[in-house]
Amino acid sequence: MKLIELTKANAEKLLADRRRRELAAEGVAARILADVRRRGDAAVLRWTRRLDGLRLEPATLWVAKGECEAARREASRKFLHAVEHAVRNIRRVAERQMPRPWNLEVEPGVHVGQRVEPLEVIGCYVPGGRFSLVSTLLMTTLPAQVAGVRQIVVTCPRPNPAFLAAADLLGVHQIARVGGAQAIGAMAYGTESFPQVDKIFGPGNRYVTAAKRLVSAECAIDLAAGPTEVLIVAARGKPRLIAADLIAQAEHDADAVALFVTTSPRLARAVREEVARQLRAFPASNPAWRSLKRNGAILLAPDLEVAARFANRFAPEHLALPGGEPALLAKIRSAGSVFLGPWSAQPIGDYASGANHVLPTAGWARSRGGLSASDFVKCSSVQRISRKGLRRLAPVVATLAEAENLAAHAWAVEVRR
């Protein structure tokens, strides 16, 4: 990992590099999306064969329910118990996140309430490049089930037996063996076999993330959840644990970003040495080798105030504060998910704490947090005005409508008096 000073120029370069990687993927994604919109399933099958090396036919595009059932029967008890444990925690958190209906009498005769309705049809994108991410299946489908979504469509290019067993345990059986921008296009536009969904959820590589941004003009998306990012900020801590967290997130993707910011030159050197030592335990094929070389850095900050300002500008997906300092946490306002203290290993959040691991990347944490059960519902206002309430508000409406030169607005109230 590079060891550099956290200067204004270096901070700007890190941010510019991230923006450049994001924009570079849009051209490729746009071409694939246009083809899927025009040719439907034929384009989906063609791009899946070209990019993923999967030769699918219309008959094998969708996973049969029997495959999921068979995978569950063959799964080990240990695996199923682990899934069930994670499911309990994720469901508990999702239930707590759910918006509730309410009703309020704003003033006599004026009632305003909130109605909460689930989305009808959603698409869940589950990455499956090297391995099918069972955890992402849980993180996207469980909150949807808690919210009451009626139809859940899942896409994953290589759903392995563990993935299929977990899907059967969840009762999720509409699974397509496709990934990439073509899967996003199929769900956003609809094809001969794909239903057009109301909203797309889930993380992916930079091409998937670019495709989600491009389709968002006509199909809602949850958030930009692209290649993993981790930012660790500490003036003190255990180098061994910090290095392990950097490597863990870096192995997600060759485009992952892993940064450690510290005010201690001694700690910086120790972490750098630990990363090099621990990496040797993993094969050269592990993406962590490439991502740490390309996008990994240890930044020496003059003080924690500068470190906190950089964290807020970078707005990382994962923010770790292994020292657990409340004063430092109070300075940082933008992060997808925060991990406090030395024992809060990020993989615990990835799998089983119950917090959702679908998190904003590329600076989106400046405007929102991670995926929540509330993302799967629509909250609509409901208004009921009595004659008494109308008479109380009519003069207010008339005055404001007159100020906006909207005479018909005033008349629609006046005609009821």
Q: So which residues are the catalytic ones? A: 317-318
For residues 266 and 239, the answer to whether their CB atoms sit within 8 Å is no
Which two three-digit tokens encode residue 89? 């925690």
Q: What is the maximum alpha-carbon separation in the chain?
A: 80
| Partners of 4 in beta bridges | 299
The CA R_g of the chain, rounded to the nearest whole Å, is 25
C-beta neighbour count of 394 within 10 angstroms = 15
Phi-psi region of 108 (alpha: psi -120 to 50; beta: other; left: phi over 0): beta
* Residue 317 DSSP SS3: coil
Rounded Cα distance between 198 and 221, Å, is: 9
- Give the E-state strand segments of 263-344 in sequence order: 296-300, 318-321, 337-340
Closest to 98 in 3D by CA, of 58, 146, 137, 163: 146
| Partners of 103 in beta bridges | 113
Rounded Cα distance between 79 and 83, Å, is: 6
Instruction: Tell me the torsion sign for CA atoms 282, 285, 288, 293.
Output: positive
Q: Which residue has the tokens 């063996």?
A: 177
